[in-house]
A = this chain, B = another copy of it.
Amino acid sequence: MNTQELVKQYQEWELKLSAYTLALSTMGFDSRTIAPTNGSAYRNKRNAYLVGEYFSIVNDENILEVMKQLSTKEDLDEKTKRAINYRLADIAKINCIPKEEYVKYDELASISYDKWYEAKHNNDYALFEPYLKETILTKKRFLEYRNKNNALYNLALDDYEIGMTMEEYDEFFSLIKEKLVPLIHQISQKQDEVDTSFFNQKFDIEKQRIFMNQMMNYLGFTKDWGYLSESEHPFTSGFSINDVRITTRYIEDNLISSIFSIIHEIGHATYNHQIDERFDGTYLVDNITSGLHESQSRLFENYLGRSDAFWDNNYQTLQNLFPEQLKDVTQEMFVRAINASCPSLIRTEADELTYPIHIYIRYEMEKAIMDGSMTLEQLNEKWKDLYEENLGIRPDTDTDGILQDVHWSDGSFGYFPTYALGSAYAAQFYQAMRKDIDVDDCLRNNNFNAIKLWLKEHIHKDGGLLTPKEVLLRATNEPFNPNYYIDYLTNKYKKLYNID
C-alpha cells in the first residue's frame, strides 16, 4: 500500500481510539466527581468492559503492521512519523508481556489500591505490605521482559520521562541535596521570620468559590474550553484541546489549599489547551512527558502564583471577600506567608523549598526497591530514616509516612522523580521567558494572555512532538541546567528568611 492509503487507515483507527478514550475520560471524570456511590459496581463492570475494548483496539495486529510500514516511508511527514514511532515504542512495552499476566496485573492494581487506601486510613502498613510486594515483583518481571541490557529502574524512569536515566537523576538530586538541605536546616531555626498565623481561621467556602471564579478568569481558564469540578484529590483531565476539566477540593480552614491547587491544575490545563489543534485526538497530545507537564503546573503554581506581581492584581479581591479575616494582613504579609517554608511530613502539603527533598527520598527508595539492595521489610524504617536525615523530622505513623502516596499501589515506579524535575525545568523556562517579556508587568496589569502566548509558542503548541531535551533547547537555547532551579530557590528563600 502507498503512504496515503496507510495514513488513511491509521487516521481511521485514531478516530476510533479517540472515541473510546473520550468515553473513558468522561466516565472517569464523572465517577471521580459527581457519580452516586451506590452505582459504582454497575459502572465499574461496564467501564472494565470498555477498557477491554480499548485494549483490543490498541493492540490490533493489522494497525501495528500499518504503523510499522508507515514508520519506514520516506514520503511521510515528520510529525506523523514521530507520533507513530512514539506509539510503536509504547506498544512494544506492553506487547512483550503475556496477555494473561497483563490482565492479572490490572486486577492486582485494583486490589492493591483498595488495600493501600484501607491501610492508610487505618495507619497499618502491614495490611498493604503483601500487595506492595506482589506489585513490585510483577512490575520488575514486566520490566525484565523488555530489558535490553539496561538497569530495570532506568526503564521505569524512561517510561515517565523520555531519555532520563539514574545517572542524570543522581547528579540532579546530589546537587539538590547538597545545596538545599543546609538551607532548609537554617530556615527551620528561623521560623519567626514569617507569620502564617492568620491562615488559622475559617474561610467560607462559598466565598472561596467566588474568588476562584475571578482568578480563573484572570488566568484565562474560561467556560468555553474549561470546567472546574470538585473531587477528593485535585486533578486535570484533558478531554480534547478545547475541553479540559480540572478539579479542586475546598477546605474551610485552609484558604490557600484550593487557590494553589487550582492554579497548579490550570497550568496543566493550559498546556493541553494550547496544543496545535491539528494534533487533537492524536498521540501527540497523550505523549507529553510527566516532567514537561509538571513543569507547567509548577510554573503556574509557584513561579507565577506565589509572586508579588500575581497578588498585586488579585489580593484586593481576596481581601474584600474576607474583610474580617484579612483586615490586618497587608499584601506583603500575605505573599510572605504563602511562601513560608518549614520541614513537614506530607509531600502534597510541602512548600516549594522542601518539596524536592520529599521527591529525593522517594527516588532513593525506588532505586533500592528496583535494584533489590533493600528488602521489603526494611522499607518502612528506611523511609523514616531518610526523613529524619534530610528534613530533621521522623514520622510517627505509617499514614504520615510510607502510606501517604498512592503511586506505589499501582506500580508507578519512576513517576515521582518527574515532579522535582518538572519544577527544575520550570525554573529554566521562567528564566528564558523573562528575557523575552516582562512577566511581572503582565501579572500586575491583568495581561496573563501575553504569558500564555509565550508558553504556547515556546512549549505548548507542539504537544508531545519533541522530547523534553528538545523542548528545553528550543525554548531556552541551552540544555537542561538544574542550577536555575537551585539559584531561584536559594535566592528567594535567603531573602525571605533574611539569611546572608
A interface vs B, CB < 8 Å?
A: 15-16, 18-20, 22-24, 26-27, 29-30, 34-39, 42-43, 45-47, 49-50, 53, 206, 223-227, 229, 239-244, 280-281
A26 contact from B27, B45, B281, Cβ within 8 A: B27
Of all chain B residues, the one with the shortest Cβ separation from A229 is B34
Q: Which residues of B contact A38 (CB under 8 A)?
A: 224-225, 242-243
A26-B26, A27-B26, A49-B16 as given contacts; A43 in contact with B239, CB under 8 Å? yes
Q: Is the CB of B19 within 8 A of A50?
A: yes
A414 to B19, CA, bound (A): 33
Q: Which residues of B contact A239 (CB under 8 A)?
A: 35, 39, 42-43
A35 to B240, CA, bound (A): 11
A281 to B53, CA, bound (A): 18
Q: Which residues of B contact A49 (CB under 8 A)?
A: 15-16, 19
- CB<8 Å pairs between A and B, sample of 8: A19-B47, A22-B43, A36-B225, A36-B226, A36-B244, A39-B225, A39-B243, A42-B241
A227 to B239, CA, bound (A): 22
Q: Which residues of B contact A23 (CB under 8 A)?
A: 23-24, 26-27, 46, 50
Q: Which residues of B contact A34 (CB under 8 A)?
A: 227, 229
A224 contact from B15, B16, B37, B241, Cβ within 8 A: B37
A387 to B241, CA, bound (A): 48
A35 to B18, CA, bound (A): 17
Of all chain B residues, the one with the shortest Cβ separation from A243 is B39
Of all chain B residues, the one with the shortest Cβ separation from A18 is B46
A280 to B20, CA, bound (A): 23
A225 to B36, CA, bound (A): 5
Q: Is the CB of A224 within 8 A of B36?
A: yes
Q: Which residues of B contact A227 (CB under 8 A)?
A: 34-36
Q: Which residues of B contact A26 (CB under 8 A)?
A: 23, 26-27, 30
Q: Which residues of B contact A35 (CB under 8 A)?
A: 227, 239, 243
In the complex, what's the smallest C-beta–C-beta distance from A484 to chain B, in angstroms? 35
In the complex, what's the smallest C-beta–C-beta distance from A425 to chain B, in angstroms? 28
Of all chain B residues, the one with the shortest Cβ separation from A51 is B19
Q: Which 5 A-B pairs have the closest CB atoms?
A: A39-B243, A38-B242, A19-B46, A23-B23, A19-B49
Q: Is the CB of A280 within 8 A of B243?
A: no
A280 to B38, CA, bound (A): 13
Q: Which residues of B contact A224 (CB under 8 A)?
A: 36-38
Of all chain B residues, the one with the shortest Cβ separation from A38 is B242
A206 contact from B206, B223, B280, Cβ within 8 A: B206
A20 to B19, CA, bound (A): 12
Q: Which residues of B contact A241 (CB under 8 A)?
A: 42
A22-B27, A46-B22, A49-B19 as given contacts; A36 in contact with B242, CB under 8 Å? yes
Q: Which residues of B contact A15 (CB under 8 A)?
A: 45-46, 49
* Most chain B CB atoms below 10 A, which of A29, A42, A49, A206: A42
A42 to B272, CA, bound (A): 14
A42 contact from B24, B36, B46, B242, Cβ within 8 A: B242
A159 to B233, CA, bound (A): 46
Q: Which residues of B contact A244 (CB under 8 A)?
A: 36
Of all chain B residues, the one with the shortest Cβ separation from A49 is B19
Q: Is the CB of B243 within 8 A of A42?
A: yes
Q: Which residues of B contact A242 (CB under 8 A)?
A: 36, 38-39, 42
A50 to B25, CA, bound (A): 14
Q: Is the CB of A280 within 8 A of B240?
A: no
